[in-house]
Amino acid sequence: MDWLILLTPVSAVLALLFALLMAWRVLKSPQGNEKMIAISAKVRQGANAYLKRQYSIVSIFFAVMFALLCALAFGSGGRIITHFVPFAFITGGFFSGLSGFVGMKIATAANARTAQGASQSLNGGLRVAFSAGSVMGFTVVGLGLLDLSVWYFLLKYAFHLDAGAVTSAMLTFGMGASSMALFARVGGGIFTKAADVGADLVGKVETGIPEDDPRNPAVIADNVGDNVGDVAGMGADLYESYVGSIISACALGVVALQSEAAVTIPMAMAGIGVIASIFGSLLIRTKEKAGPKALLGALRRGTNISALFIAVAAFPLVYFMLGKENIGIYGAVLSGLIAGVAIGFFTEYFTADSYRPTKQLAAATHTGSATVIIGGLSLGMLSTVAPAVIIAVSVLVSYFLSGGAANPSIGLYGIAISAVGMLSTLGITLATDAYGPVADNAGGIAEMAGLPKQVRERTDALDSLGNTTAATGKGFAIGSAALTALALIVAYVDRVKALDPDFALNLELVNPSVLIGLLIGAMLPFLFAALTMKAVGRAAESVVLEVRRQFREIVGIMEGKAEADYAACVDICAKSSLRQMLIPSVIALLAPILSGLMLGPNGVVGLLAGALVSGFLLAVMMANSGGAWDNAKKYVEAGHFGGKGSDNHKAAVVGDTVGDPFKDTSGPSINILIKLLSMVSIVFAGVVLAFHLI
């Protein structure tokens, strides 16, 4: 059954072709009037310029790391790390960045076209935006599987490495992808939220002009931000999640099963998932006159059918590859899928304004911004309960169904496989997630170009539709991050055992090194969130000062007679986000190495576990608080509790502003952080084993 691994490269090519097809669909749509084209061009130029600068800074980092890894690999004759590691690291980073870049390219091409489509009909707007989302979704999975396949075939057939060595090189590839993703998420996240917060604070709160008003000098920066943060950042991020889940499953599988099948199953399952996603995407059709409800139904149907497809197809895959005795692993796949859907449901419950929590939060605007903040924070904290319990149940179920009671290794492999199951339909779930920012941008363009009010209403409807479907996507992303991080901890332990079978591993919780590692690890996401939030605050402050300056100094700006200096705001956002992006990312890389050198491998395991649990909870909390504040504000804007311009609205805007860095900078970065920590630990395990204090 080894030929099944061929499903991976074949699907990779299919995914990329499908992405091309979708890109063609986007590009052939009309671009709208001249004003729209001009605005879109400004956004595109800003995003291009920013990413260019980001990539040049990041390249320096990658070059330094490459040199370091080369020195370690060639200096130690491949003993501490193998010779493939530096190269794998680079390609992971490259493809992760490329995923984000392609996403940004298509999103900036699609924004005006979506606005134009929405000026015809709701469905017209959806078609363009969703096609753009699909380009991103299928590019991410296509590039991911392509890179995995190339490395796999190269190492196995050209260099004749055994499965263990193959997966260990692939883990470095994951580390490259995670590093790039962290830079993209943090940098882009700071950019987008600094622009957003800055624009809102002066525009909406101080001056009282509407969102996306062309008089606001930060408005282009805000729209650029959506593309470099929500799109390019998300692309790199999910690329990392996707390949991370597959790689970690392969690594655990090699230890658990001692056979090729361990690698074939996750790779082939991902391949089948691509086919399922294409199938599901093709089924998304609605009547021309369909309302938002019908559109939502169509999107849901598409993702559900894809999930069903994979649920069915995974059975024969497991059965024929591993035999009847290991069929429990199929149960793990199912449990992962169900957990993803369940977390998605609770995400929606806590953040959508059709449910009680967000409605109550909107009602808290009656007593001012302080109670909105208190309410949102407690909502976010409360919303951690369900995901924690769901992950707990899913882990237990996967472990025991896979046979962990008799053989712990295979139980742990089952957990890793459940993460692969969860993410296998990423092609389509990411498409439903990524089209939101495109619709958001289209709304901005509609506003700035002065299109009729109903166009904006339609793009808003698309955007809010996107928020709802994105909830499911977030459920999968968060759930899989936790499961993958867990698998990577196990992979780290396996790696230490493989490198030095005599090392006295004592992972008991009452071992002080483990406990201390746990505490330090749990602190890292707090530190990370603090730094990223501070960075947003600082960058936003510069934007505020610049916008105020322009309002003051440019004569006629408020009357619309003089054009604002948009480029200055874009430049400020770019500069400060790039400056502030470095420290958090470097901490993520150094923390596990430094702790390892001091506390040894036992402490590292504690650190990883601590970061996993506190990071998971903090990420969920921040994402959901932010989402609820955003939607509570929209709920007020829709006319409840006084509507736009009321005191309630002002209170709601404060909540939304606080929520911005929560949900789009700190929260999603933490998901990457917890995996990156593990991957760095694995790659540098040899160094830590060679030199450590305790």
> 529-558: which residues touch a copy of itself (CB under 8 A)?
529-531, 533-534, 536-537, 540-541, 544
> Helices marked H in 323-452 — which ranges?
328-351, 356-363, 369-382, 385-401, 408-423, 426-448
CB of 569 to a copy of itself, least distance (A): 15
Using CA atoms, how far apart are residues 442 and 119, in angstroms rounded to an integer?
A: 11
Which range in 60-68, 323-331, 333-341, 386-394 contacts a copy of itself by CB under 8 A?
386-394
**Among the candidate windows 89-97, 165-173, 177-185, 394-402, which touches a copy of itself by CB under 8 A?**
394-402
Residue with smaller CB distance to a copy of itself, 100 or 517: 517
Residue list 594-633, contact with a copy of itself (CB under 8 A): 605-606, 609-610, 612-614, 616-617, 621
Which tokens in the block code for residue 662? 């929560």
Q: Which stretch binds a copy of itself (CB under 8 A): 45-53, 126-134, 385-393, 436-444?
A: 385-393
The residue among 186 and 533 lying less far from a copy of itself, judged by its C-beta, is: 533
Stretch that binds a copy of itself, among 7-15, 43-51, 481-489, 676-684 (CB under 8 A): 481-489
- Shorter beta-carbon distance to a copy of itself: residue 369 or 424: 369
Q: Which stretch binds a copy of itself (CB under 8 A): 145-153, 396-404, 434-442, 470-478?
A: 396-404
Q: Specify the residue for token string 């936003």.
A: 540
Among 45, 48, 76, 371, binds a copy of itself (CB under 8 A): 371
Task: Classify residue 501 as exposed, middle or buried by CB count within 10 Å of its CB (0-12, 13-18, 19+).
Answer: exposed
Which of 404, 437, 443, 596 forms a contact with a copy of itself (CB under 8 A)? 404
Q: Which stretch in 13-21, 214-222, 468-476, 527-535 sits in contact with a copy of itself by CB under 8 A?
A: 527-535
**One of 346, 350, 399, 684 touching a copy of itself (CB under 8 A):** 399
Which of 374, 498, 562, 594 is the binder for a copy of itself (CB under 8 A)? 374
The rounded distance, in Å, linking the Cα atoms of 688 and 487 is 20
Per CB under 8 A, 485 contacts a copy of itself: no
How is residue 683 written in tokens?
């790659």
- Rounded to an integer, what distance in angstroms lies between the CA atom of residue 649 and that of residue 658? 14
Minimum distance from residue 315 beta carbon to a copy of itself (Å)? 24
Minimum gap (Å) between residue 583 Cβ and a copy of itself: 12
- 509 vs 555, beta carbon nearer a copy of itself: 509
- Which is closer to a copy of itself, CB of 103 or CB of 615? 615
Q: How near is the Cβ of 551 to a copy of itself at its closest, in Å?
A: 15
Q: Which of 195, 194, 58 is nearest to 585 (CA)?
A: 58
Closest distance between a copy of itself and the C-beta of residue 392, in Å?
Answer: 4
How near is the Cβ of 383 to a copy of itself at its closest, in Å?
8
Cα–Cα dist 82/173, whole Å: 13
- How is residue 454 written in tokens? 């109903």
Question: Of residues 636-675, which lie at the interface with a copy of itself (CB under 8 A)?
Answer: 653-654, 657-658, 661
Query: At its nearest, how many Å lie between a copy of itself and the CB of residue 590?
Result: 14
Among 70, 283, 527, 567, which residue interacts with a copy of itself (rule: CB under 8 A)? Answer: 527
Q: Whole-number minimum distance, CB 670 to a copy of itself, in Å?
A: 11
Task: Compute the half-sphere exposure of residue 317: CA atoms within 13 Å on the CB side of its CA.
Answer: 29
Among 283, 382, 689, 690, binds a copy of itself (CB under 8 A): 382
Note whether 31 and 43 are within 8 A (CB).
no
What interhelical angle do 566-637 and 34-75 show, nearest 10? 100
* Class of residue 395 by CB neighbours under 10 A (exposed 0-12, middle 13-18, buried 19+): buried
Q: Cα separations (Å) of 471 from 19, 40, 265, 342, 613?
A: 23, 28, 28, 11, 21
CB nearer to a copy of itself: pick between 198 and 244: 198
Task: Report the residue number, 370 or 562, with the smaller CB distance to a copy of itself.
Answer: 370
Coil, strand or helix at 589: helix
**Shortest distance (Å) from residue 684 CB to a copy of itself:** 19
Q: Choose, by CB under 8 A, the member of 45, 48, 304, 378 that binds a copy of itself.
A: 378
Segment interacting with a copy of itself, rule: CB under 8 A, options 128-136, 216-224, 485-493, 675-683: 485-493
- For the purposes of burial, counting CB atoms within 10 Å of the CB of 579, is it exposed (0-12), middle (13-18) or buried (19 or more)? middle
Of 682, 694, 672, nearest to 585 (Cα)? 672
Q: Which is nearer to a copy of itself, 165 or 587 (CB)?
A: 587
For a copy of itself, the closer of residues 428 and 599 by Cβ is: 599
Residue closer to a copy of itself by CB (options 106, 478) is 478
What phi and psi, each to the nearest 5 degrees, are found at residue 367? -105, 20
Q: Is 164 exposed, middle or buried (0-12, 13-18, 19+ CB in 10 A)?
A: middle
Q: Residues 495-524 vs a copy of itself: string with x where CB under 8 A?
A: ------------xxxxxxxxxx-xxx-xx-
Those residues with Cβ within 8 angstroms of residue 43's Cβ, 6 or more apart along the chain or in another chain: 108, 111, 220, 223, 224, 227, 441, 445
407-466 positions binding a copy of itself, by CB under 8 A:
408, 411-412, 415
Asked if 640 and 582 count as a contact pair (C-beta separation under 8 A), the reply is no
Asked whether the beta carbons of 99 and 81 are under 8 A apart, the reply is no
Q: Which of 164, 292, 368, 642 binds a copy of itself (CB under 8 A)?
A: 368
Assigned token pair, 15: 């995914």
Which of 385, 498, 558, 586 forms a contact with a copy of itself (CB under 8 A)? 385
Half-sphere exposure of 32 (CA within 13 A, CB side): 30
Q: Amino acid identity of 184?
A: A
Hey, what's the torsion of the CAs at 87, 10, 429, 622, to 10 degrees?
-10
Expressed in angstroms, the distance from the first to the final Cα of the chain is 46
Classify residue 559 by its DSSP letter.
T
Total residues in contact with a copy of itself, by rule CB under 8 A: 81
Q: Which stretch binds a copy of itself (CB under 8 A): 148-156, 257-265, 374-382, 632-640?
A: 374-382
- Tell me the window of 32-40, 118-126, 379-387, 669-677 that interacts with a copy of itself (CB under 8 A): 379-387
Which residue from 585, 674, 529, 525 is spatially nearest to 61, judged by alpha carbons?
Answer: 585
CA distance 293 to 305: 18
Residues 171-210, mask of contacts with a copy of itself (x by CB under 8 A): --------------------------x---x---xx----
Q: Which is nearer to a copy of itself, 329 or 493 (CB)?
A: 493
Amino acid at 370: A
Decide if 89 contacts 97 (C-beta within 8 A).
no
